Amino acid sequence: MKKNVKERFLEYIKWDTKSDEENLNCPSSNGQMEFAKFLVEEIKNIGIKDVSLDENGYIIANIEGELKNVPKVAFIAHMDTAPDMDGKCIDPQIIENYNGEDIILNKENNIILSNRDFPELKNYKGKTLITTRGNTLLGADDKAGISEIITAVENIINSDLKHGDIKIAFTPDEEIGRGADKFNVEKLDADFAYTIDGGEIGELEYENFNAAVCKIAINGRNVHPGSAKDKMVNSIELAMEFNSMLPNVQKPEHTEHYEGFYHLIDFKGSVEKTDLTYIIRDHCMDKFNKKKELIEDVTKYLGIKYENAKIDVNLKDQYYNMKEKIEPVKYIVDIAKEAMIDAQVEPNIKPIRGGTDGARLSFMGLPTPNIFTGGHNFHGKYEYIPVESMEKTVEVISNIVKNVSKLSK
């Protein structure tokens, strides 16, 4: 029985697929593999025979087309949800004909999705919203993308549209930066792709942050406070001083558009030892490198100032700005832009203040811009998605296939 995108989404978010950064396996959680097995059957049920699931949890499927002289296009989404918040036992609210007012997510704990805090809510008056109940995330990132891709492909299979080969792929562990680690680009065999992993309706992105993670271990010296003068080195105090030496204006809460940042995402400490974890982001490679250099400079300075302390820094690049790889084939952005216009969606081309699988895939030889899912406030209890936005994404995917079918290699 054919399902619509809303039905699929509500079914898919029941699966607990939260990724786990501490688990080095791929996928990093059993729930992802179980969901992947379910999706394989779902894909087969809509009429796709050429589908595979590998031992690392990657799904690749091919819909063979009648047209052999047109590019092969792929659509990609990720199966995991963010480890930032619980993704188990998701019990969504469905609000039909939304009235534009505040939405009570959880009356008992006074959790409210307020149009004052989230003014874009007013854009969806009269629409159907799917929200959380204030104690889990929703999972639109990126089960909305999976729902939209499968629904669009099913519609295409059941239409009379003549097209080239269409590829779909679903990946594990995107939320912990490993989504492209074991992706078999050669097996996918596409000329270009689109991740369906963006936010609000109209988003079209082909620029993203350059990204690094920085882990800092500070070893101090604990001495009884009664006799600590000139002897104690409090690693917590040193860590606080370290953080204060980074530019305050270059934090996520103070930046937008093309502005990069340092983001302290974890702090665990005692007098004897403190561990800090930062993520470092910037669209400009030169500014990105200078941010990393400042970390090194601060480390050296504090190492001299506190000679009885030891500061170890581990800096690791995660991904780079895909703009470099997309601009030579900019026509693939234009294809998506035209597809949105044809769906009566106003394209909003802007840089991603984050990353997608497409960033790394672009550097692996598969140029991959990013397209909206329709969701808002990912990774937390205020997450919501309008059903009508999901329906537009389905239409945009179908329009991309139509536009690609007019091209020749």
Catalytic residues, which ones?
80, 174
Tokens describing residue 248: 């305050």
Are 299 and 310 a contacting pair, CB within 8 Å? no
Q: How far apart are CA 297 and CA 299, in angstroms?
A: 5
Amino acid at residue number 309 = A
Region label for 231, one of left (φ > 0), alpha (ψ between -120 and 50) or beta (otherwise)? alpha
From residue 208, give the alpha-carbon distance in Å to each of 104, 257, 387, 388.
34, 11, 27, 27
Q: What is the 3-state secondary structure (H, E, C) of 251-294?
A: CHHHCCCCCCEEEEEEEEECCCEEEEEEEEEECCHHHHHHHHHH
| Residue bearing tokens 């534009």 | 100
Are 304 and 271 a contacting pair, CB within 8 Å? no
In this structure, what are the phi and psi dihedrals at residue 211, rounded to the nearest 5 degrees?
-135, 140
Say which residues have a Cβ less than 8 Å from residue 229's Cβ, sequence separation at least 6. none
Q: How far apart are CA 179 and CA 366, in angstroms?
A: 14
